[in-house]
Amino acid sequence: MNRQASGTTRRRFLKTSVAAMASVSIVRPHVLGGPRHVPPSETLGGALIGVGGRGPGTYNDLSRKHKLNVVKLAECDVKWVGKADNKKRYTDFRRVLERKDIDVVAIATPPHWHALISIAAMEAGKDVVSEKPMTRFIAEGRAVADAEKRYGRVYQVGTYGRFGKQGDAGARARRKLMKSGLLKDCKGVLIMHRGYKVKQWSGLVNTRPQQVPDWLDWDMYQGPCAMKPFHRHRFGGTHRGYWDYDGGGLGDMGQHFLDPVTWEYGLDHTSPSEITPYAPPAHPEAIGMWGWVELKYANGFTIVLESREWGKRYDRKKPRDVSVNDLSPGDRKKLAEMPDPEPLLGFGEAVKARKPAGGNSEAAHRTVTIMHLANIAIRMGRKINFDPDTEQIVGDEEANRLVNQPMRAPWHL
Amino acid sequence: MKKQINVAAIVDKLPGADRPGTESKFTGPAPDEAKKLVASVLSGGREAILELAEMIRDANGTGEKNYKPGYLLHAIALRVGDKGRDKERLVFTEALASLLGGANPPPGAQEYLLRELQCAGGPEVVKTIGGLLEKPGIWEHAVNALVAIETGAGEQLRKALVRARGRRRLAILQALGSLRDAPSTATLASATEDKDENIRLAAIRGLARIATPACVQPVVKTAAKAKSWEKIQANKAALLLAENLAASGSTDKARETCNLLINANEEEDDAYVREAAERIISGL
């Protein structure tokens, strides 16, 4: 169904709804499109940018998972050279975002484009679901979070582990404890040795340049990254093995694994301050091996990411849970009187309520920052210190240059 | 006096790619072993660094023999960037800079060296890098290195801008904006009238970052007349400018910017832009 034919745009619908809610609350929720009630008038124009790999799944989740009534009006991909009609199929995402009939954008490009397209979409007034990992470096995440706030848009990263965690009583109790501020000297240690696909998603170190296929816009694919010669391994999934595009298996899978952790341990608004790596010297282009990274927060809580694919095992600390037993009896009483964690809003609910989604950009940024810090420490081969407020690496200029990396014109944050 | 060392023999000690003779992944040396190899080269001083850098033949580590010197050079760049090693860092960066600008090493190798200076270089190499801003094939990497180094970069970029055209001019203008180069305010303001949309966008973005009262008119004027993608980006520049003006205490100018932006976005679909501007005003 063509949304324009309905005569009601999402923005007009929301404007009317907000005005109705503000005047008097006699209108029943389903009329306004509350949870599980999508009125037929609320048809959203949708677009998918990056159609390969996860693209169709990410877009289809708009209706399946998020229960939005969405009509796909445009798709965009850099591998459609000669096949785009600039009506429904595009190779340049800017032409998609110019369209005023598009309300929601699903982004499933390689990660080096996630932040720039997310930001541009919100600047154009769209709501965004973006595949993980949210960003390629730390400053990108701050810019996405700033854009969400500046434009009052809704952003959700494409990983949902935290939504599952909120159904777990133990996880809710840990979140409440960690967010309470009562745990001054946290002794918790969480060691995670999940499937980081370290070797699988590493890069080739001695490639010979190849001919760019005639169906691919390589300049657009490379985008904000310094121009490099085409090689098939830099494209189509194996891109994950190059610092230009992603952070290897750690950068790519880490957001899945750590999304529930940052919610459970109340780390949505802060970042680790001391990061200690164990890895061989990094290659400047191809992502390689690492053993483990220890990331300690200012309150003492420590996350250890362990690859178990290279080098000796982590043995600096033992796993240790956090619990109310870490509090004095008086503080336990105070904790009991505090409110329980608020439920997370799904993307669809957030779009309708014009409130932040559970996987909003600030939370997603803090999660992906863990992987970025781990990777910076791996790349430097030394301990780094990070200020979670200024989001700068302290006392290490070389490492800090990876926090905000130059972009190739015309692309910029 | 630095001792004589055999750099080629040190390079040979690095483990090969995992599948020799093919395009391959790389497991790398043990950290302690790598430290020893790096220290061996550094003990040879400038001459050893030059010898290692001259082994690099292109920017991509093409072939089995070529990736090892590049990998070791990068390991050295990381080592000398560590705390308390500034003397070694200066020897390293000045040695690399001395190889730039001529016919040899080949452009691909110079690109590689520039990328290492983007990691470890400081003000001591900005003049040399500035001299590469007109050099075909590597000027874009020179721009990136200058943006990363920051200190002293503005002057080099301003000098190069005079003769820059096309994509090079765009990259330099964008870099000046990234650096918040206040002496470029008039140049950027003038560039908002350019016939190239990308130049105009780089200019207003730079002005939004510099964010002095003189930046207001060129930015809001662009926002008022722009269409489509340029309109979206000009609105962003105006909002960013207002935020930056407010943060620096120029609240009247921030309010003026927001009001001009509100007036320039009167359509129903632009409500979110007006609301964004109103949020800034309400915070003043």
Per-residue pLDDT reduced to its tens digit, A287-340 = 999 999 999 999 999 999 999 999 999 999 999 999 999 999 999 999 999 999
- For residues A50 and A177, membership in a common domain is answered with no
Contact B34 A204 (CB under 8 A): no
Identify whether A214 is part of a domain: no
User: Which run of H or E residues covers position A394?
Assistant: strand A392-394
- Which of A129-133, A183-187, A396-400, B239-243 is least confident? A183-187
Chain B contact for A230, CB < 8 A? Answer: no
Identify whether A355 is part of a domain: no
- For residues A174 and A76, membership in a common domain is answered with no
Identify whether A229 is part of a domain: no
**SS3 (DSSP) at B115:** helix
Contact B24 A205 (CB under 8 A): yes
- For residues A33 and A53, membership in a common domain is answered with yes
Mean of the pLDDT values across residues A3-28? 36
Q: Which residues contact B101 (CB under 8 A, 6 or more apart)?
A: B110, B128, B131, B132, B135
What stretches of A189-346 show up as alpha helix (H) in DSSP? Answer: 218-222, 248-264, 329-337
Q: pLDDT under 70 in chain B at which residues? A: 1-2, 61-65
**SS3 (DSSP) at B103:** coil
Q: Which residues contact A256 (CB under 8 A, 6 or more apart)?
A: A132, A159, A161
Identify whether A406 is part of a domain: no
Chain B contact for A120, CB < 8 A? Answer: yes
Chain B contact for A128, CB < 8 A? Answer: no
Mean of the pLDDT values across residues A143-171? 97
Q: Which residue among A110, A134, A162 closes a domain? A: A162
Other beta carbons within 10 angstroms of residue A86's beta carbon come to: 12
DSSP tally for chain B: helices H, then strands E: 16, 0
First to last CA, chain B: 63
Contact B174 A382 (CB under 8 A): no
- Is pTM beyond 0.80 here? yes
Percent of chain A past pLDDT 90, that is, above it, reads 88
User: Which run of H or E residues covers position A407?
Assistant: none
Please report the pLDDT score of residue B64 as a whole number.
55
Q: What is the CATH number of the domain that holds A77?
A: 3.40.50.720
Chain A: residue whose CA lies nearest to B179: A406
- For residues A332 and A188, membership in a common domain is answered with yes
Mean of the pLDDT values across residues A53-71? 96
Classify residue A332 by burial, with Cβ atoms within 10 Å: 0-12, 13-18, 19+: middle
- For residues A151 and A297, membership in a common domain is answered with no
Q: Which of A97, A278, A395 sits opposite B232 (nearest CB)?
A: A97
Q: Which chain A residues are Cβ-neighbours of B275 within 8 angstroms? A: 152
Rounded to a whole number of angstroms, the CA Rg of chain B reads 24
Please report the pLDDT score of residue A33 as a whole number.
37
Q: Which of B26, B77, B276 sits opposite A151 (nearest CB)?
A: B276
Closest CA to A248 of A287, A281, A280, A283: A287
Q: How far is B115 from chain A (nearest CA, A)?
A: 9
Please report the pLDDT score of residue B26 as a whole number.
87
Q: Which two tokens stand for residue B173?
A: 């203008």
Kindly tell me if the per-residue pLDDT of A10 is higher than 60: no
- For residues A251 and A393, membership in a common domain is answered with yes
Contact A97 B202 (CB under 8 A): no
Identify whether A409 is part of a domain: no
Question: How many CA atoms lie less than 13 Å away from A78 in the CB half-sphere?
Answer: 16
Looking at the structure of chain A, the number of domains it has is 2
- For residues A82 and A174, membership in a common domain is answered with no
Contact B26 A288 (CB under 8 A): yes
Identify whether A333 is part of a domain: yes
Percent of chain A past pLDDT 70, that is, above it, reads 90
Q: Which residue among A111, A131, A162 closes a domain? A: A162
- For residues A86 and A138, membership in a common domain is answered with yes
> What is the DSSP pairing of strand A274-278 with strand A155-157?
unpaired
Q: Which two tokens stand for residue B43?
A: 């003990």
- For residues A101 and A192, membership in a common domain is answered with no
Contact A397 B118 (CB under 8 A): no
Kindly tell me if the per-residue pLDDT of A15 is higher than 70: no
Model confidence over A91-133: pLDDT tens digits?
Answer: 999 999 999 999 999 999 999 999 999 999 999 999 999 999 9
Average pLDDT of chain A to the nearest whole number: 91
Rounded to a whole number of angstroms, the CA Rg of chain A reads 22
Please report the pLDDT score of residue B27 as a whole number.
87
Chain B: residue whose CA lies nearest to A289: B27
- For residues A282 and A307, membership in a common domain is answered with yes
Closest CA to B76 of B67, B85, B65: B85
Chain B: residue whose CA lies nearest to A97: B229
Model confidence over A219-244: pLDDT tens digits?
Answer: 999 999 999 999 999 999 999 999 99
Please report the pLDDT score of residue B66 as a whole number.
72
Please report the pLDDT score of residue A301 as a whole number.
97
Q: Which residue among A162, A194, A218 closes a domain? A: A162
Chain B contact for A219, CB < 8 A? Answer: no
Chain B contact for A12, CB < 8 A? Answer: yes
Identify whether A278 is part of a domain: yes
Please report the pLDDT score of residue B1 as a whole number.
57
Q: Which of A95, A289, A398 sits opposite B119 (nearest CB)?
A: A398
Q: Which residue has the tokens 């964010």?
A: B211
Q: Which chain A residues are Cβ-neighbours of B28 within 8 angstroms? A: 280-281, 283, 288-289
- For A:18-77, CB contacts with B below 8 A are none
Q: What is the CATH number of the domain that holds A195?
A: 3.30.360
Determine the Cα–Cα distance for residues B210 and B178; give it in Å rounded to an integer.
9
- For residues A273 and A175, membership in a common domain is answered with yes
Q: Which residue has the tokens 């003049």?
A: B127
Look up the domain containing A193 and give its range. Answer: 168-203+239-342+360-400
- For residues A79 and A174, membership in a common domain is answered with no
